[in-house]
Structure 1
Amino acid sequence: MKKSNRLWWILGGVVALLVIFLLVAKQQGWIGKEKPTEVEFVKVGKSDITETVSASGKIQPEVEVKITPDVPGEIIALYVKEGDSVKKGQLLLKIQPENYISIAQRAEAVVNQTKASAEQAKSTIAQAEARLVRTQAEYNRQKRLFDEKVVSASDLEIAETNLKVARQDLEAAKSSVEASKFNVKSAEAGLKDASENLRKTSIYAPMSGIVSKLAVELGERVVGTSQMAGTEILRIANLNNMEVRINVNENDIVRVSLGDTAIIDVDSYAMTGKKFRGIVTEIANTANGSGTSTLAAASTDAVTEFEVRIRILPESYRELVDRKARKVYPFKPGMTATVDIVTEKKLGVMSVPIAAVTTRGADDAVSTDVKKDNDAPVEATQEPKPTKKDKPKEVVFIHDKDKVKIREVKTGITDTAAGTIEVISGLKEGEEIVSGPFIAVSKKLKDGELVMKKEAKKDDKDKKKE
């Protein structure tokens, strides 16, 4: 009996100690306490922010001329190779001229023939004038004799008719001379056209530069521009002035201006780490592929882009030019390059990591520093006002005594390369805000939530030491 009572006393004591421990643990917050969210913190400070627009494109010469023949035929002489340097007016190639020589000779014969006809027409005028003088004298004599009643009226009428015919013959001879003049001009135009076609069988360089592309071989037949588009024979480019042509999205094109500076990363020089400087020289006014309304309607789902051209500044690649080693042109047409256009730059402005700024609804974007009068009485007859759906607002989470407070901010330009964004208002320098993880800032964190500093992983610590 004593042993049974003793056991009950022991069990009662254990239960009492357990109850006391639970009460103390709950009072001290050891149990039943909300588990804090692990986050990363950063202090608000000032830094330099550079806003850029990035895009990829191809390097091309600023001036490149595509040469196509005006006349068709076979290439019988080719005087240049791809990569050759040529001067304006230099003979590049010849097209078989035999047919065009025959046409020109035939046209020349026609000119000579029409000129002879014109001379013959002129002699006809002289004959017509002589006949007119004779018939005029005959008419005057018949008129005088008729007045003297020596000849009959029929003789006078015959003389008058002969005079009219002589006058008409003279007018016809003059018209024939005018027609022969037009015939001569027509024949000369034909000769000029034939001579021009003959001249076009020899193709000369329209500008000085480098043969950047040679698309034909000796003996190949080419089509002239009079027949469809014509055959592209070669290209001449000025490789001293190169540019990068990129396509910029319509959301970014409004931030790009003529004269903006750019940093150019050419894939061919990526291993060296060399970057080049450029300047925006041209911005397209029309989107790529814009045409008729039918084409525009068919491409409404396509990405709208505008072409931007950036000149590569020669001083940024001067050290790559080695004339002794014949490395005069470090860039070749068609090279791939990535361009960062500097659209705006601000020095010493308030900035935070991009990941620290998120968007929340209007109900969530109210700072806890502002208290609402929730105890104000509401009249029973008062009807609820319709609420207007506000746009999401930009917010950050302030670290305050192991808790976070949501605060609305106004942001400015973004430095994509540095991963920072300008804060125009809403923060003070030195305040500590939550900067990550991204999923916590963008989705999970709420106003007043408990947080704790996220401990760095062992691998991260080792990397920092290294």
Structure 2
Amino acid sequence: MITMKKVLLGVFVLVFLGLSAWLGYYFYQKANTDPVVYKTEAPFETEIVKKTVATGSIVPRKEVQVKSQVSGIVEELHVEAGQIVKKGQLLAKIRIVPNMVSVNNAETNLQTAKLNFEEAKRELARYDQLYAEKVIPEQEYRKYKADFALKQEAMQAAENNLQLVREGSSRKSGQQSSNLVYSTIDGMLLDVPIKVGTSIIERNNFNEGTTIATVADMRSLVFEGKIDESEVGKLKENMDLVLTIGAIEGRVFDAKLEYIAPKGLDEEGSIKFPIRAQVVLDEKDFIRAGYSANADIVLDKRDKVMAIKESMLQFDKEKPYVEVEVAPQKFEKRMIQTGLSDGINIEVVSGLDGKEKVKVPDLGIAHI
């Protein structure tokens, strides 16, 4: 028992001596540690701009797809992508592949109309002689003359119908050939997706038809993008936008906001609102359709205001304050009123003098 007590006593003494040595070393290190010096910065005068960013693309305001009124095969193609065209300019000619049933019906109708016309012609010749001899009254003669004119018109209509079925056009005066495709607006050809020999489908109530060419007015471009629901309430029409186009380095373009969608779209769980802005271009500027772009939208702006870095702010029950240097490395808590922030700098409305120095919390600690 005596031996056990001696062992325990020896262990206790060793532990005590070890702790005493560690505490002595710790306080020695503390006493020889250099004092910390907190970095300070003075408020500065600057411009603060609060903005948001919308992503989107540059598109023509007016862009149309020109389609054919008849089905068939492209026989002639007079344009290619990149050309400037005028409204009414010929783009392509279509060779119609006629439907045999329709052709047969049209030919039958024409033969019937010709027979009716020949019969009316003979009858009119006979009644011409009878009328000249005053055998029949004028009223009866006019009836046969009108019947002849109707049969003649029916024959001409049947001839035109047959020609339309076969060729897509007729000789009738003033009628535009339906197998010729013309541009419907002035502009640039963005795309001509067909080639000579391509089979195409006509545009009708049941089919959109094959696109012959895409024409757009490249002098009037708009930015179409989307903005988050948290920012859309701050936007107003006629606000200024600054466009940055990824494909055009070193240039920014001005734009004017002209449309904000009244209804948002659900995209991957977040609501986005489409917007549109008119791009302001110089005469020498040329921007290709479809370029992706980012729009910086200025929500608010302050010129020549006193500000500090937002990272220097501290909060006490959500009220902002800073630590102001009142003596070398001595600081006091100062409540301030803040204004506009751009995420980096924040406006100081009151509570701080422009010559005072503010402590940078937890940053720039140095030893001397």
Q: Which TM class, normalised by the smaller chain length? A: 0.5 to 0.7
Cα gap change, 1:410 to 1:97, in 2 (>3 Å) = farther
C-alpha displacement of 1:347: 1.8
**Residue 253 of structure 2: aligned partner:** 276
With over 3 angstroms needed to count, the CA separation of the structure-2 counterparts of 1:350 and 1:337, relative to structure 1, is same
Distance 2:323 2:216 in 1: 59
Runs of 4+ in 1 over 6 A off after TM superposition: 32-35, 111-117
Distance in 2 (alpha carbons) for counterparts of 1:285 and 1:223: 38
**Which position in structure 2 is the counterpart of 1:14?**
none
Aligned to 2:247, what secondary structure does the other structure show? Answer: helix
Match of 1:415 among 342, 346, 358: 342
2:103 & 2:337 partners in 1: Cα distance? 78
Q: Where in structure 2 are the equivalents of 1:99-110 lying within 5 Å?
A: 99=98, 103=102
1:97 paired with 2:96, answer yes
Q: How do 1:330-349 and structure 2 match up within 5 A?
A: 330-349=286-305
Q: Which aligned pairs between 1:73-84 and structure 2 lie closer than 5 A?
A: 73-84=72-83
The 1:111/1:305 distance shift into structure 2, 3 A limit, reads farther
CA change 1:432–1:96 in 2 (3 A) is: same
AA matched with 1:77: E
CA distance in 2, matches of 1:233, 1:225: 11
Aligned partner of 2:325 in structure 1 is 400
1:254, 1:108 → 2: CA distance? 67
Picking from 349, 355, 358, the partner of 2:311 is: 355
Change (3 A) 1:33 1:336: same
- Counterpart code for 2:320: V
The structure whose residues are more often strand, as a share, is 2
How do residues 196-235 of structure 1 correspond to structure 2 at under 5 angstroms? 199-226=177-204, 227-235=206-214
Paired with 1:73 and 1:405, the residues of 2 have a C-alpha distance of 87
- Residues 244 and 294, structure 2, Cα contact 8 Å, conserved in 1: yes
Q: CA deviation at 1:32?
A: 10
Q: CA deviation at 1:98?
A: 4.6
Quote the offset at 1:396 in angstroms. 3.4
Rounded Cα–Cα distance in structure 2 between residues aligned with 1:48 and 1:411: 15
Counterparts of 1:17-416 in structure 2 under 5 Å?
31=31, 36=36, 39-99=38-98, 103=102, 199-226=177-204, 227-270=206-249, 273-288=250-265, 302-315=269-282, 318=283, 321=284, 330-357=286-313, 360=315, 364-365=316-317, 393-401=318-326, 402-415=329-342
- Check conservation: 1:395, 1:406, Cα contact below 8 A: no
Scaled by the length of structure 1, what TM-score is found?
A: 0.52
Cα offset, 1:90, TM superposition: 0.8
Which of the two has greater helix per residue?
1
Q: Which amino acid aligns with 1:52?
A: K
TM normalised by structure 2 equals 0.64
Length, aligned pairs only? 294
Task: Give the AA of the match of 2:188.
Answer: I
- Contact 1:353-1:435 within 8 A present in 2 as well: no
Deviates more, 1:398-407 or 1:75-84: 398-407
Q: Deviations over 1:275-307 (max 9, x none)?
A: 222222222222235xxxxxxxxx6x5222222
How far did 1:209 drift? 0.6
Matched residue SS, 1:304:
strand
**Range with bigger deviation, 330-339 or 224-233:** 224-233
2:322 and 2:336 in contact (8 A); partners too: no
Q: Would the aligned equivalents of 1:396 and 1:433 in 2 still touch at CA under 8 Å? A: no
Higher gyration radius (CA): 1
8 Å Cα contact 2:325-2:356 kept in structure 1:
no
Distance 2:341 2:61 in 1: 32
Structure 2 distance, partners of 1:357, 1:69, is 67
Alpha-carbon distance in 2 for matches of 1:108, 1:283: 58
| Fraction of identical pairs, as percent | 21
Q: Judging changes above 3 Å, is the alpha-carbon distance between structure 1 residues 113 and 254 closer, same or farther for their aligned structure 2 residues? A: farther
**Corresponding residue SS for 1:257:** coil
Shift of 1:206: 0.8
Residues in 1 aligned to 2:50 and 2:224: alpha-carbon distance in whole angstroms: 20
Q: Is the 8 A contact 1:396 1:434 kept in 2?
A: no
- Give the distance between the partners of 1:108 and 1:408, measured in 2 at CA: 97
Structure 1, unaligned stretches of length 5 or more? 1-21, 121-179, 290-298, 322-328, 366-392, 442-452, 457-466
Deviation at 1:223, TM superposition (A): 3.0
Counterpart of 1:255 in 2: which secondary structure? coil
